[in-house]
Amino acid sequence: MTSQVPSVATSYHKSSDGKTYTFNLRHNAKWSNGDTVTAKDFVTAWRKGVSPKAMSGYNYIFSNIKNADQISQGKKAVSSLGVKAVGKYKLVVQLENTEPTFIDKMVIPAFYPQNTRLVKKYGAKYGTAAKYTAFDGAFKVTKWTNTSEKWTAVKNP
């Protein structure tokens, strides 16, 4: 059994049937550009990740989240994904079936948030270069483009 150390989440709760997870997020989490990290940023990222247009190849990682398979197959709208923001700091995830390893999967980058404001601002350019991305971890990447195999990481204020 692994032990989880919350990053953006302060805590989470699993429903008694094991199919709903509620994550409570830190109110002081910030993106490298100063924006607040919110539950909507997770919804944005997960909807992008499960979309049939996603080019990451990680659509399958979302498989047990409600409607994820149908969305990936183009049979349902991404807005039907079983993930929602309840206010700014609460993320609720509905699963199709119980999944004992669900929390362990949260360390996979496909589940990381994406800055919703910048995703809308930059569109298809989001994430293609350091200047089109914001970071919410201990470091931010500089001097990188998607064609470069070199980058620089600096302390994130």
**pLDDT per residue of the chain (157 residues) written in tens, 0 to 9:** 345 556 899 999 999 999 999 999 999 999 999 999 999 999 999 999 999 888 778 889 999 999 999 999 999 999 999 999 999 999 999 999 999 999 999 999 899 999 999 999 999 999 888 899 998 888 888 877 677 677 788 888 7
pLDDT in the model for residue 150: 78
Tally of CB atoms within 10 A around 81: 24
pLDDT at 30: 94
pLDDT of residue 6: 64
Are the CB atoms for 51 and 67 separated by under 8 Å? no
User: Cα-atom radius of gyration of the chain, to the nearest Å?
Assistant: 16
Q: Cα separation of 30 and 13, whole Å?
A: 23
